[in-house]
Structure 1
Amino acid sequence: MADHVLTPSQLNTLARDLLEGAFPLVLVEGEIGNLSRPGSGHLYFTLKDARAQVRCALFKPKSQWLKFVPREGLKVLARGRLTLYEPRGDYQLVLDTMEEAGEGALRRAFDELKAKLAGEGLFDAGRKRALPAFVRRLAVLTSPSGAVIRDIVSVLRRRFPLLEVELLPVPVQGEGAAAQLRAMLQRADASGRYDAILLARGGGSLEDLWAFNDEALARAIAASNTPVVSAIGHETDFSLSDFAADLRAPTPSAAAELLVPDAASLGLRVDGLQRQLRATHGNTMRQRAQRVDHAFLRLQARRPQARLDALAARAAQARARLANAIQRRLERDNAALRHADAILRACHPQRRLLQARARLQAIRGRPQALLAQRLQHATLQLRGLVRSLHAVSPLATVARGYSILQHADGRIVRSTGDAAAGERLEARLHHGRLLLRVEGKQDS
């Protein structure tokens, strides 16, 4: 059986698939060599030790997150996946992250200690203390020779010159720094002199900031009775002191701005409160003046002469009302007398006799007028009935040339069957009557 023949590209593809499938993410520690920075922003270099080297690539999106500047000879810890660059047949390590050697172990220790303290509730928001509204005296724990204390003092003097600031000098890195930081923090808290304590340090590597990741220091911060503000490193740096403190500031300068109000803004607020106070005072004084005026009027109303004047006025009003009532009563009595006199005159016997005669005369003429009216109405009704009766009367038919045949007893002859031969009949005409005899009959 002949062997299967592969092209170089096919062989490299198979090798790449084998490498990527067989190796998970790997951590490689080595020294940077052959560093190249093309215009694309990618980084190409080798990681080497005394006996071997491996090609590495860190592409632009991830290279921008580096916290250090890679350089030749720098020892680093790199994390990535093995693959094969098919055009040249070179296998290489494509990196996800890279940090200076030594930080990897520190980072793992930091994560483990952070998880432990968080599990104990040391970082819970519920246990953190609120800062006072106005900090009068501040303790700053930092290096006396660094730029950090100058930046903090500059911001505090600009924003709130009335604040009293005390520098408590301590080392912020190196061996023994964590213990000195903890001891100074505990002395400042026990003194009761300060409204707040600020821990501050400039930026640096994880190793430089390691003093602020000390477990004993984090516990001392959490146990402090004085509120603690932590401002360690840059905005992207986090330490256990930040998590344990009552307030974390991204930078020392930002911490200074958070601790004190702006003097200009505070001045505007004071001016507004003064205006409000003056307005309130003015309103209060006006209200009190009105109450004094009302009290004076009430006092004036209660003087004896004022009461006598009021009683005299009431008596005058009562007299006027009485006079008006008497006048109205007299007018009503006079009207009643005039009405009674009219009634008496109407009831005089002679006057009543004359009135009776007039009514009798009127009554006498009423029956004749009523009888004449009724006779006229009956005559009109009778004439109407006559016209209606004449319209339906057989005499009207006879007047037009017809006649009515009757038997001797007055019964009407309506057909030949009603008359017998030889019977005498009477024909009623418009004028007069004819006597007839039936000679014979002929049915139609």
Structure 2
Amino acid sequence: MNTPFNDSRPPALSVSELNHQAKHLLETSFMQVWVEGELSGFSRPSSGHWYFSLKDRKCQVRCAMFKGFNQRIRTLPKEGDQIRIRGKVTLYENRGDFQIIVEHLEPAGLGELQLAYEELKRKLQSEGLFDVARKKPLPAAPRHIGVVTSPTGAAIHDILTVLARRCPAIPVTLYPTAVQGKAATADIVRAIEAAQSHGVADVLIIGRGGGSLEDLWCFNEEAVARAIAGCRMPTVSAVGHETDVTIADFVADLRAPTPSAAAEKVSPDQREWSRQVEEKQHRLENAIQRSLQRLQTQTGHLTARLRDPRRDLMDKAQRMDELDLRLGKAMMTALSQQQTRAEHLDQRLRAQSPRRQLEQNQDMLDRLTKALDVAIYRLLDNRQDRLSHTSQTLNLVSPLATLGRGYAIARRESDGMIIRNAADLTTGDTIHTRLARGSVNATVTSVNLPEDS
């Protein structure tokens, strides 16, 4: 089909130009959006990126969540999940697909649960249920410990293990309950009431192992909070891990970060008891010894006041023994001094031995050799780190890295000049285009200059 020279039709955009302009329009019109819907078509290729669609009853939108963002998500989403995402609206130019680049993903109901949590927390705090003044102290040596938790969970195992180690003599009663699900709230309240009716425990541990916010939610229910606050015996909340904080933690008389920690806090250490008993026994023995010594001293004073003819003979005998002992000590001292002097001379003689000096020099040489090896390896490690850092820095500014992101370098074939302006080209010029992988040669058929040029 021939086209007249004076073609009056409007200029046409290429597909690439259209997609590029559409992408720019979307990204500048939607800075960041929150979208909620049902997850569909989830895929996770070997690159680690996530690709899926978000849909409702009428429409769906494609989504991509790159590895740097999805690594923060602890639970892998699955088909059919109701989720909320935060991200940027854009266009995948290669296919012309409208999509959202996802930066954050969470279950759809998480926000509602958090709002309910904060609202109940404010309500109970305003009623004074969190006040320190109303909290009951734990017994220093409990006679019986009650535990409200699941009979099959890890929490009861951890609690019993700690109690068996610290003080196995204290009896423990389990008041079994569900700790997850819709029925758990009423079940926990019944277990607390059962512990009070039983009346044997003088401290009550209430809790479970770790889990998600939804798993722990029964401990954020108002009925459970009021049951704990109204419990007549001291209560210890031990829900989840150290980072998990529930309403039950605020109303209980004491919060333990884990079930094991709760068992530590309510039970005395039998080894500490043994130490205290031994310490008191030692103090009693010392007091008895001091009393005996005091009585012996008084007896000696009374005896000294009595004059006995045999006393002079005993004094003379004691004086003779004293002189004999002094003579013996003087002889031993002289012998010891001579022996010490001989040993000192022997040591000086040994110190002057060339063999000892050679051994010392050899030891010093070994130490210096080891230190030199360590210094060489350390220097090599430092040089290797610097080389790796320099290589990474060079790679960041490398033209090849820029080409890898989809850019290209165009040169005029005739003189090798890099083309930065369309005005530098004329129809018929041959251009050589360098890509990330390979290159192409093309002939210019038309030159489109910007309107402001």
The TM-score bracket by the shorter chain reads: 0.5 to 0.7
The residue aligned with 1:194 is: 201
Q: Does 2:24 correspond to 1:13?
A: yes
Which residue, out of 138, 141, 149, partners 2:145? Answer: 138
Deviation at 1:142, TM superposition (A): 1.9
- Shift of the 235–193 alpha-carbon distance from structure 1 to 2, 3 Å rule, reads same
- Shift of the 58–195 alpha-carbon distance from structure 1 to 2, 3 Å rule, reads farther
Q: Does 2:160 correspond to 1:153?
A: yes
Amino acid at match of 1:211: C
Q: How does 1:19-418 map to 2 (within 5 A)?
A: 19-20=30-31, 25-30=33-38, 32-60=39-67, 62-72=69-79, 74-85=80-91, 87-88=93-94, 89-189=96-196, 192-261=199-268, 266-267=270-271, 269-270=272-273, 272-273=275-276, 275-300=278-303
- Structure 2 residues without counterparts, runs of 5 or longer: 1-8, 309-453
Alpha-carbon distance in 1 for matches of 2:133, 2:290: 48
Amino acid at match of 1:76: Q
Amino acid at match of 2:34: V
Deviations 1:59-96 (A, max 9, x none): 44553443532122x32221313321453454433445
Deviation at 1:218, TM superposition (A): 0.7
2:50–2:64 CA contact under 8 A, matched in 1 = yes
Q: Normalising to structure 1: TM-score of the pair?
A: 0.57
Alpha-carbon distance in 1 for matches of 2:125, 2:182: 26
- Shift of the 195–279 alpha-carbon distance from structure 1 to 2, 3 Å rule, reads same
Alpha-carbon distance in 1 for matches of 2:293, 2:212: 73
1:79–1:98 CA contact under 8 A, matched in 2 = yes
- Shift of the 255–140 alpha-carbon distance from structure 1 to 2, 3 Å rule, reads same
1:178–1:212 CA contact under 8 A, matched in 2 = yes
Alpha-carbon distance in 2 for matches of 1:71, 1:148: 29
1:45–1:57 CA contact under 8 A, matched in 2 = yes
1:199–1:232 CA contact under 8 A, matched in 2 = yes
Alpha-carbon distance in 1 for matches of 2:250, 2:67: 32
Deviations 1:131-161 (A, max 9, x none): 3333331111123344443343233324431
Alpha-carbon distance in 2 for matches of 1:40, 1:126: 56
Deviation at 1:216, TM superposition (A): 2.4
Alpha-carbon distance in 2 for matches of 1:186, 1:131: 19
The residue aligned with 1:420 is: none
2:22–2:91 CA contact under 8 A, matched in 1 = no
3-state SS of paired residue (2:291): helix
Amino acid at match of 1:164: P
Alpha-carbon distance in 2 for matches of 1:129, 1:282: 38
Deviations 1:270-327 (A, max 9, x none): 5544553454334323321232123224544677x79xxxxxxxxxxxxxxxxxxxxx
- Structure 1 residues without counterparts, runs of 5 or longer: 307-444
Q: Normalising to structure 2: TM-score of the pair?
A: 0.56
Alpha-carbon distance in 1 for matches of 2:179, 2:160: 18
Deviation at 1:240, TM superposition (A): 1.5
- Shift of the 250–275 alpha-carbon distance from structure 1 to 2, 3 Å rule, reads closer
Deviation at 1:164, TM superposition (A): 0.8
Alpha-carbon distance in 1 for matches of 2:47, 2:267: 46
Amino acid at match of 2:254: L
1:78–1:95 CA contact under 8 A, matched in 2 = no
State the superposition RMSD in angstroms: 3.4
- Shift of the 149–118 alpha-carbon distance from structure 1 to 2, 3 Å rule, reads same
Which of structures 1 and 2 has the bigger CA Rg?
1
Alpha-carbon distance in 2 for matches of 1:40, 1:123: 49
Alpha-carbon distance in 1 for matches of 2:25, 2:92: 10
Alpha-carbon distance in 1 for matches of 2:59, 2:97: 14
2:204–2:235 CA contact under 8 A, matched in 1 = yes
